[in-house]
Chains A and B, each alone.
Chain A
Amino acid sequence: MPEREFVNLLSDDELRRQLRALPLDEPDNGFEIRLLRRALQQRGPEFRAEISGLKIVGDSLVRLGLVALIFLTMSTVFVLLPGIKSPVANYTAQEPVPSRLSEVRSVHFVLHSKQQMLGAIIRIVLPDNVSFDGYEHRRVLQWETDIFAGRNRLSLPVKISNEKAAGEILVEVKYRGSSKLLRQNLTKL
């Protein structure tokens, strides 16, 4: 996070502007009709009737011409940018190992989450020719962090010894007994 952005947030107007811009997982176009149907069904058989024939709803949809983005599941965007520090806190404490490689790159993951996951566990497994900056002999790092609904960025400072065949980074996210394993090929480096 560049320092200037923290400074900008000090003004009330800028704070409000940023709050107003917080992203929302927008529902799809037919969402209103779907919810109305579900509400009628939830109410009982006597209410299970004909939402589909509601001209007002259909007409309103056409008039509004609604276009909405939908993110039904979490997705991960993998970004490779050099020189940006990670905002992710709570790396597990490890004994530092002196760096021997000259170039350190920050590898950025953007986690799109449909729900907030406080206290999620993130576990990173690196291929043999990639090491964490400062932990050259470790291939696995794990820590606990909060994942918010929406976009979350995770940055890893790594060193890659052979960029043409950098291999695959595994990212495992664990939350309340469930887990998901993501794989990212680094050949695009």
Chain B
Amino acid sequence: MYTWPKALFHKRSSQEHFSGLVYPYIRTMYRMAYRWTGSRVDAEDLVQDVLSGLLNKVSILEKTERLGPWLVKVLYHRYVDLYRRQCASPIDESFDLQDVESCSDGRSEHCSNLDLERLLNRALLMLGPGWRDVVLLHDVEGYTASEVAEILDINVGTVKSRLHRAHKKLKKIITEGTIGEVHPC
């Protein structure tokens, strides 16, 4: 009898409970999604998709000891399903540019940092996906080797081995000059 108010109350409190559980990790999830997708829009869509899929799994979330890495693991699997396996898709993506601003001299350090970022981004792209994932999780986002192992479903030894090889390869790419000076004439 009169079960609907109870059901309604339960629904709302369940949503609140869900939100309370995942809220502290949403930004962390976004950061990792951004590292993988390379796009703010795609990263938000990916996190939203994962959250939506977890709405009915509050009990699993409650039982999970280390919820942060677990959520990133779910995110990773979803990313592989939605993005990496469809990377050959010919879907056009729109892009946007904003107006030009000006800045004055004295920005050489700033520009130099930009070169370095570009260089690192390019070097990361030249790593295989397995190595790149490990570097992004461990070096860029600061997960421990055991957390990376948990997220990627590989053992800790493999994580360390991939890290070692990835560093070696990154340094090789960089020292060989992935981006050389350009002489337009």
Distance of B40 from chain A, by nearest CB (Å): 5
**Interface hub of A20, A42, A46, A71 (most chain B Cβ within 10 A):** A42
Q: Report A59-77 CB contacts with B as 1/0, cut-off 8 Å.
A: 0100000100001111111
Query: Provided the pairs A10-B175, A31-B26 are in contact, do residues A40 and B140 lie with their beta carbons within 8 angstroms?
Result: no
Question: Interface on B for A, CB 8 Å cutoff?
Answer: 11-12, 15-16, 19-20, 22-24, 26-27, 30-31, 34-35, 38-42, 44, 47-49, 51-52, 55, 92-105, 107-108, 110-112, 114-122, 125, 135, 139-140, 142, 167, 170-171, 174-175, 177, 179-185
From 12 to 34 in chain A, residues with beta carbon under 8 angstroms from any chain B beta carbon are 12, 15-16, 18-20, 22-25, 27, 31-32
The reply to whether A43 and B55 form a contact with Cβ atoms under 8 Å apart is yes
Bound complex: CA of A116 vs CA of B105, how far in Å?
28
What secondary structure prevails in chain B residues at the interface with A? helix
Bound complex: CA of A43 vs CA of B92, how far in Å?
26
Bound complex: CA of A1 vs CA of B125, how far in Å?
19
A109: B residues at CB distance < 8 A: 100
Distance of A20 from chain B, by nearest CB (Å): 6
B16: A residues at CB distance < 8 A: 53-54, 56
Bound complex: CA of A50 vs CA of B111, how far in Å?
46
**15 A-B pairs, CB-CB below 8 angstroms?**
A19-B120, A27-B30, A36-B26, A54-B20, A57-B23, A66-B27, A73-B97, A79-B107, A80-B105, A85-B182, A115-B40, A135-B184, A135-B185, A149-B40, A184-B100
The reply to whether B181 and A86 form a contact with Cβ atoms under 8 Å apart is yes
Bound complex: CA of A148 vs CA of B135, how far in Å?
18
Cβ-Cβ contact count across A and B, 8 Å cutoff? 247
Query: Provided the pairs A35-B26, A75-B101, A77-B101 are in contact, do residues A27 and B184 lie with their beta carbons within 8 angstroms?
Result: no
Query: Which of A56, A79, A89, A151 is within 8 Å of B117, CB to CB?
Result: A151
The reply to whether B97 and A76 form a contact with Cβ atoms under 8 Å apart is yes
Closest chain A residue, CB of each to CB of B121: A148
**Interface hub of B20, B107, B115, B170 (most chain A Cβ within 10 A):** B115
